[in-house]
Amino acid sequence: MTLALLLWSAFTGADGFPLTCAYVARAADAELASHPACAAREGERLILAQRHLRQMRYETEGLASVWVAGRWYYARPSGAALPVVTLDNAPDPFAEGLVRSRRQGRIVYADAHFREVIGPRYDWGWPFAQGRALVCRGCRPLQEGEHSHVSGGRWGWVDRQGREVVPVQLSEAQARAR
């Protein structure tokens, strides 16, 4: 074993995965539980330990929900992981085949294969319903206790291809009325 590998193992744990994860295991009666030595970061990328990937329960869209370092991710059995928006202390559910994530500080919409369908053009966006999603530019989150809401900016609607079906230039109330 090289000196670098020995130092890495000593610093990160025996198998090189310093982060603890919370996920539901495959066992029928399993609940959300903490699992040490589960993940590591490589820049922005999350790497999940193979032994944990084999233990996770894969449900919606063939994905497992994993909580790591204060953030929810969806994970595929291959190890690919997508950070997603937290909604009511849980990972954002898929709506009409898309889930919300963040890139460059903005909302993106991705499919179940983690392909980005709508890129980072909006500061916030709500889940899709009836083929469209309410989005905004220039809006800001406001924290109120445990909850937050979004305020200000210009609002409009996008379809599942990212086309603005109602241009993003209205107040939130005006956009919601459309």
Q: Please give the model's pTM, rounded to 2 decimal places.
A: 0.85
Distance CA 15, CA 20 (A): 13
pLDDT for the residue numbered 7: 38
pLDDT for the residue numbered 1: 37
Q: Which two tokens stand for residue 18?
A: 């310093």
Indicate if the pLDDT at residue 169 is higher than 70.
yes
Condensed to tens digits (0 to 9), the pLDDT of residues 116-156 reads 999 999 999 999 999 999 999 999 988 887 778 899 999 99
Give me the percent of the chain exceeding a pLDDT of 90. 78
Task: Give the mean pLDDT of the chain.
Answer: 89
Indicate if the pLDDT at residue 3 is higher than 60.
no
Indicate if the pLDDT at residue 8 is higher than 90.
no
Q: What is the mean pLDDT of residues 34-52?
A: 94
pLDDT for the residue numbered 146: 76
Distance CA 142, CA 148 (A): 5
Q: How many Å is the Cα radius of gyration of the chain?
A: 19
What contacts 141, CB < 8 A, 6 or more positions away?
124, 148, 149, 150, 151
Condensed to tens digits (0 to 9), the pLDDT of residues 71-124 reads 999 999 999 999 999 988 889 999 999 999 999 999 999 999 999 999 999 999
